Structure 1
């Protein structure tokens, strides 16, 4: 029997495991090695804080949901702890403020902010959802000048959107990551970050798998949300996403092309609706609502895909007759195939 790859270890924490009156103190103790927290004026209903953390080998990723609070990292904490890294904070919802001496930076929903833990700071979290990515200073010494230059600033380069997508997908798919994939993901993130901070030709080349994986994620989500639009095609996608035709063709090459991917996703969505016993819509209605305008063509393509007609799918449950391999590859799948064929830019980035 083939052994299932060991999943990456996820460490989860929640103040909901404590009584209301002890929740803030419990979280303060958990955060003590990094910063001191200021107790909110009113916490009669408790203090909600939870996070899920995992390590990619020198890259610590934490997905947070925390009630608004103030925090401070002091010189005393810097001396007492060995935490010497940069941290990227991705504000998924809410706002984040950070200040050091006379320099301050504000980040809103969707922003990425870079902060060095080697210096003291004061921060305020306003909102609920953040992702922090700790970058070990030794592992990332090869891009230290770029990281130091971006310290206490909101990242706003041309590739920031793709970096944001990569981080979001990485967090959302954390439970799917295996120990064997950690090195690939670590290298991919490192190369993408380097290209975002300094988009040189070499950095862009090394980041190609991560860039294309992020573009694929964005394009697939756009297609999913626009299946009902008959005009969904290459030109429509490129114009809407600001992506060139060449780039779009490249990221969908392994799927047999953009048009084939759209057709496959549409057929999958129609099959799901048609085989749902609680869905009483007409076959034609389901087809039209998923972007098919020619019923004859739809019926022929559906039968080619599933070996039975749309009417047969609608009249009886045929789930057992359909192959299970209908889901699209994840970002992890894409990276593991493409990145494994590339040589890392440097040993430090591996």
Structure 2
């Protein structure tokens, strides 16, 4: 009997409440946050608490992606004394956050990052959402302690704040694909990017340039995918959508064969994905048009050059059950957030 291959990639610590009885779910979620936060469900509805946390530990920091119903999170004076971990938490929420700290009350808009220190009391309340968090240890970012503390408890807005938000989203997409040896190099890059966005100076911006370029490229890619079918998709429109200059755009995509080539590449990838999905009932012509190809013959030629098969051959393979689909990865569990934080 053969042994199945081990899942590849950097495996997260996973907590899910979905397999528990509804009356056990909130207690299980509280158990993960025990001694770090107290939790309250603002409006318990008796339907349980379906939530998921994926947490990737790194050297001196960690990345967490949490999907949960509406929640009120408190770090009280008693908890600060009981568990004096004083990491920073850099958060990007999918819903507005109402934050209360010793500095006062503030509303953080959805999609805007903000920093809090776990060394202080705080109350955070928000509706159901998915949010990303970077936990940063003081030992790892000691040289940046002053600027990080000064930036606490307020929205990080402006161009660099948005760049940091985009970078966090890029991290969340990429980190499951990393091999452990690649993940070992990630903390240095994260620290450079955080330093450049929180307290920019020429040296820090230069050190984080590679991270910023990758983030800008992800922003351009997202803008292209959002407007794949538009005949108006052009370098000028991309510059406006991605918040970049024309020269910066051309420099970003120089290694991809240029702007026009990159747009066509993403359009072809999207059309291939649609034709490989046996649940997609659109005709080949409809898929092509939705992906920005308005000349069927030109689409077929470009598709075959890119993939070595015609659109109809890819569609036929999907209907025959031969299309490839990504497999979901699973990972180990852990007893509590406090142990994960203490490992930094």
CA RMSD in angstroms comes to 3.2
Q: Say whether residues 1:96 and 2:97 are aligned partners.
A: yes
Q: How does 1:113-124 map to 2 (within 5 A)?
A: 113-124=114-125
Cα separation, 2, equivalents of 1:50 and 1:90: 16
Q: What is the SS of the residue equivalent to 2:54?
A: strand
Q: Normalising to structure 2: TM-score of the pair? A: 0.80
Q: Which residue of 2 aligns with 1:86?
A: 88
Q: Indicate conservation of the 8 Å contact 2:60/2:140, yes or no.
A: yes
Q: Which residue of 2 aligns with 1:142?
A: 143
Q: Which residue of 1 aligns with 2:178?
A: 177
Higher Cα Rg, which structure: 1
Q: Which has the higher contact order (CA 8 A, sep 6+)?
A: 2
Q: Which residue of 1 aligns with 2:58?
A: 56
Cα separation, 2, equivalents of 1:58 and 1:101: 26
Distance change (3 Å), C-alpha of 1:39 and 1:227? closer
Q: What is the SS of the residue equivalent to 2:49?
A: coil
Q: How does 1:1-350 map to 2 (within 5 A)?
A: 7-38=9-40, 40=42, 42-92=44-94, 94-101=95-102, 103-270=104-271, 281=283, 287-293=288-294, 297-298=298-299, 300-306=301-307, 313=313
Q: Indicate conservation of the 8 Å contact 1:15/1:48, yes or no.
A: yes
Cα separation, 2, equivalents of 1:41 and 1:304: 56
CA offsets, 1:67-107, max 9 Å, x none? 22323212222222241211112112x22222123512221
Q: What is the SS of the residue equivalent to 2:184?
A: helix
Cα separation, 2, equivalents of 1:114 and 1:214: 20
Distance change (3 Å), C-alpha of 1:204 and 1:308? same
Q: Which residue of 1 aligns with 2:327?
A: none
CA offsets, 1:118-161, max 9 Å, x none? 11122223222222221100101111111011011111131222
Cα separation, 2, equivalents of 1:100 and 1:48: 28
- How many pairs were matched up? 317
How many angstroms does 1:309 deviate by?
6.2
Cα separation, 2, equivalents of 1:308 and 1:71: 53
Q: Normalising to structure 1: TM-score of the pair? A: 0.78
Q: Indicate conservation of the 8 Å contact 1:63/1:132, yes or no.
A: yes
Q: What is the SS of the residue equivalent to 1:158?
A: helix
Distance change (3 Å), C-alpha of 1:10 and 1:288? closer
Cα separation, 1, equivalents of 2:115 and 2:273: 43
Q: Which runs of 5+ in 2 are unaligned?
A: 325-344
Q: Which runs of 5+ in 1 are unaligned?
A: 325-350
Cα separation, 1, equivalents of 2:277 and 2:85: 53
Cα separation, 2, equivalents of 1:261 and 1:250: 12
Cα separation, 2, equivalents of 1:269 and 1:24: 39
Q: What is the SS of the residue equivalent to 2:18?
A: helix
